[in-house]
Structures are given as C-alpha cells and as structure tokens.
Amino acid sequence: MPNYSRQRESIRNFLAGRRDHPTAETIYQNIRQEYPSISLGTVYRNLTLLSELGEIQKISAGSGPERFDPNTAPHYHFICTHCGGVSDLKMGSLDHINILAGQDFDGEIAGHSAYFYGTCAGCRSAGRTMTEDRAADRTDTGQRGPKSIP
Amino acid sequence: MPNYSRQRESIRNFLAGRRDHPTAETIYQNIRQEYPSISLGTVYRNLTLLSELGEIQKISAGSGPERFDPNTAPHYHFICTHCGGVSDLKMGSLDHINILAGQDFDGEIAGHSAYFYGTCAGCRSAGRTMTEDRAADRTDTGQRGPKSIP
DNA sequence: ATAAATATAGGAATGATTATCAATTTTATT
DNA sequence: AATAAAATTGATAATCATTCCTATATTTAT
C-alpha cells in the first residue's frame, strides 16, 4: 500500500466533488490553489496511482487529453461536439453487444469501450447546432475545439 | 481539389493493400522504401487529407497512436490486449444503442464510437491469456504494450 | 516554356504524458 | 521525541504523437 500524502488526498477530495470529468491540467490548476508548489508530474503520478488502485477511472474519448472520473461504477459517457463537455449517461449496460461482436469472430471478446456524442442540452438551447463552439469559455473542456471526436 | 502527388498516390496504394490498420509511423517506414526522402510530416499531411476527402478512415482506440483504415464503410474494430493488433469485426450496426443512450438524456445523441477488446485468435492459440504479450515482435502494433486499453 | 498554384522535405514547435533524481515527507523503530 | 528506512515530491528533462513552418521542388494551367 502506498504511503499517505496530502497532495494525493487533495486530488482525491477535489475529484470526489466534481461531475465534469476534469483533465490532469484542470486538476493541477485547482490543486495549485491549496498547494502552490505541487507539480504537474505529481498530479499525473497520483491520478495514475488512484486509477490503478481502482479509486477513480481514467477515461479517454477519441483525441484530446485523458479525463478522470471519481465514479468507478461502469457507465457510459456523452461528449458534446460543440463545447467539448463530458457528462455521464444514465443507461443500462450494453454487454449484449459483446455477444454480437463475438458471433462471427475467432478470438475472445472480453469487453468493449464506447461513448456517445452529439449536442448537449446547454448547447442546443443556446442554438449551437453547427460547430461554432466556444469551448475555451468553459471552465474546463480539456480541448481547444471539437477535434475528430467520432 | 488537391493536386496530384506521387507520395500521396503511394500512401493511397499502400493503405489499400493492408487490413491491419497501420499507424502513420508504419506507413512512413513502408513508403520510405519507395521514396527514401519522404518525410513523416508529408505522411501525416496526406493521411489527414485523405480522411477529409473520405477516401480513408482515421481510427482512434483508447491511448496509442491513431490508425488508418482504407475501408470507409462504417464497421467496428477489435483490439487484442495481448499483441495490440487491430482487426475488423463482421457485425451489423449498433445504432440502436443511440436510442438507449438518448432515453434519459436531455441533449441530442448524434452517434457513438465503440470498439471491442480481448484476445485475438492468434494469441489465444499461442496460449497468451495473461498480459505477457510480445507486441514489439509484430510488424506493427502501434503501441509498446497493452496500455489502458478499455 | 512559363507562371501560378500546390506539395514536399526537413526541422522546429506543440501538447500530453512519463521518467529521473535530489530533496522532503511519511512511517516505523528505538 | 529522535532516527533510520521507505516512499513521495518538485523540478526538470525526455519522449511520443502530431502539427506547423518555410524554402525548394513539383504539378497544373496558360
């Protein structure tokens, strides 16, 4: 078991209170308020450790930086192609698609990775239908623009 | 329309004859046999152009470099967690999962991205059940080891 | 054959992440 | 509480994948 460290504790607590799946950079900028001398490397090191310990989840959706989720229960994510925001989807398991995938396949399907994309409620009500996003305005989107998201 | 270029033509032809979804680096190493002075930047530039033209498909699966597929028809991929190889799956569309995702969601689901992982036929018959892969031996896996694939 | 437009090679630059290592912090031991 | 051993940190260098830059070369239109 790893030793205690206040930096790691702070990262743990910060993440626990967020539902927006922040990137390492965002976590770094926030933890820096409390520990001005923390380094980005420490943030990465601890995020990797915490996800290896199964306390958090590392999620990668297409291009762009990895994101971190305090919810370790299996669930699916939605990525808005306009603002870049990532949110949780309330939907049941899709494990039946593993069967479909294995039907005409020689190897063994152990699982799948999937995410959904489209326009989030906020962007739709703001009339953002084409890619005239303003991701940079948001607290954290983790990407500068809607790159090749699919 | 872009001008003709032999480098681009060579990339096009190389890709057309492969079913292993090579990375830009692998494509570069191969085209180099015919055009020793081609640069990696040219390979990237043309791969991006060809996928914008809809002649090829750029596929990203978790971490690791992007891969390129001459098959532009929508289909799903399988990634072996042992050797890192990527193969096509013969399975129908999963578009019904978009409906499931949209059921309890306020935004608009436009589509999804999914891939499957597990043990490929080759690795299974070679008895590779745990992660004692030897990806580096393969012609191209595009990654050094089975990183956080899910 | 020539000019204009486009593409290339080569290398520098960028962004995300990992590695290195001396100094500091934490834990166990006296 | 003092100390030694083990683990973690901060700072920075290194790496990897990819994009950007620009002078030169190739392609296309005239």
Write out pLDDT tens, residues A96-140. Answer: 999 999 999 999 999 999 999 999 999 999 877 644 444 434 444
Q: State the nucleotide closest to A45 in CA–C1' terms.
A: C18
What's the pLDDT tens digit per position in B14-42? 999 999 999 999 999 999 999 999 999 99
Cα–Cα dist A109/A37, whole Å: 45
B103 touches strand C (CB under 7 A): no
Q: Determine how many CB atoms are found less than 10 A away from the CB of residue B28.
A: 19
What's the pLDDT tens digit per position in B50-100? 999 999 999 988 888 999 999 999 999 999 999 999 999 999 999 999 999
Q: Which of chain A's residues 61-80 bind strand D, using a 7 Å CB cutoff? A: none
Cα–Cα dist B15/A117, whole Å: 28
Contact assignment for A78 to B58 by CB distance below 8 Å: no
The neighbouring-strand residues paired with B115 are A113, B77
**Which residue, among B140, B138, B96, B133, has the nearest Cα to B114 in the 3D structure?**
B96
Query: How large a percentage of chain B has pLDDT more than 90?
Result: 78
Residues of A in contact with B112 (CB under 8 A): 114-117
A41 touches strand D (CB under 7 A): yes
Chain A: which residues have CB within 8 Å of chain B?
51, 58, 60-63, 66, 76, 78, 80-81, 89-92, 94, 97-98, 100-101, 103-124, 148-150
Domain ranges of chain A: 6-137
DSSP string, B24-44: HHHHHHHHHHH-TT--HHHHH
Q: For residue A91, which amino acid is it? A: M
Q: What is the dihedral of CA B142, B61, B41, B136, to 10 degrees?
A: 0
pTM of the full structure: 0.87
Q: Determine how many CB atoms are found less than 10 A away from the CB of residue A81.
A: 21
**Topology at the third CATH level for domain A6-137:** Arc Repressor Mutant, subunit A (1.10.10)
Looking only at the bridges linking them, the beta strands covering A76-80 and A67-69 are unpaired
Shortest distance, CA A85 to any CA of chain B (angstroms): 12
B149 touches strand C (CB under 7 A): no
